Amino acid sequence: MFDFVAMAMDEMLANYERARIARTLNESDRFLSNPAITAGYVDLDSLYLSKLRSFRALFTRYLTIHNLKHQIISFEDYMNAFKEYALSIVQNNPLTRSQFILSRNVPVLCTGLSVQVTNKDASKDQPKIDEFYKSPNFEFYRNSAIGYGFLIDKNVPWILTADLGSPQMKKYLEQSAASSYLLNDNFSSAYDEISINDVETIKTQLINFYADFVTRNPYYRVTEQGAYGSESVLNSFAANVEPEAPTQFRGCEQNIHMIIGFHFMVI
């Protein structure tokens, strides 16, 4: 997370400790009598690579179920099969990083501006009411969050997000190197524009996918008709691990552009 977020959170928790020592908190409260950071920054790239590995596993399963593995003898064959599969599921399964970051798969913790103070299931509303909003310590929790420049997510009250517009957070931000761009609304200096490298990233990953496929399926078979109608002969050949450049790379990029374009037509 950003250093100024950590500074604000450290001071908020220190204030909580002072309140506990002064016995101004209800210590029977399981969650809000002594909150602690359970999650901070979550790395987007790690989440995305995990998603791609899941995508690859689903595609491999698709090839097996539809008995298509034996038809793939080149990178071009692999890409054609992948395109057909990806276009059928991309609406609900983001493939590019820019699609992925807009999906529900990416938590607010990836911004570096948020902190989580307990681990709960956000899909269940009643525990939020019983254990947070009705907590005898909720007013202290809310006032502490505001006092140190945080916003409480009403749908996930155990997640606090830095309010960059609050004067309380601004005093921490001014102590950070991030102040030079975040205080001037120059967010392009703080974050990278993801869509710029989408095609190159996917191209690299697809080459890795294909290399993994060849490792797991190192040979393919071709049936050849013998002379004068004699029995067919089965010959085994080693698969080519490296895609042939530049023709197949161009084909790869065309397919990726098609998949990306289709996704943004349907969302």
User: Residue 62 burial by CB count (10 A; 0-12/13-18/19+): exposed, middle or buried?
Assistant: middle
Q: Which residue has the tokens 């993994």?
A: 212
Total Cβ atoms within 10 A of residue 75: 26
pLDDT of residue 159: 95
CA–CA separation, 158 vs 108, rounded Å? 12
What string of pLDDT tens digits covers the 267 residues of the chain?
Answer: 888 999 999 999 999 999 988 988 898 888 888 888 999 999 988 999 898 898 899 999 999 999 888 888 888 888 889 988 988 887 778 888 888 888 888 999 998 999 999 888 888 889 899 889 999 999 999 999 999 999 999 999 999 999 988 999 999 988 887 776 766 666 666 667 777 778 888 888 888 888 888 888 876 665 555 555 554 544 444 455 454 444 455 555 565 655 555 454 444
pLDDT of residue 260: 55
Amino acid at 32: L
pLDDT of residue 259: 56
CA–CA separation, 96 vs 247, rounded Å? 22
13: which residues sit within 8 A by CB, 6+ positions away? 35, 36, 37
The DSSP code for 132 is I
Are residues 209 and 256 in contact, defined by beta-carbon separation less than 8 angstroms? no
pLDDT of residue 161: 96
CA atoms within 13 A on the CB side of 150: 29
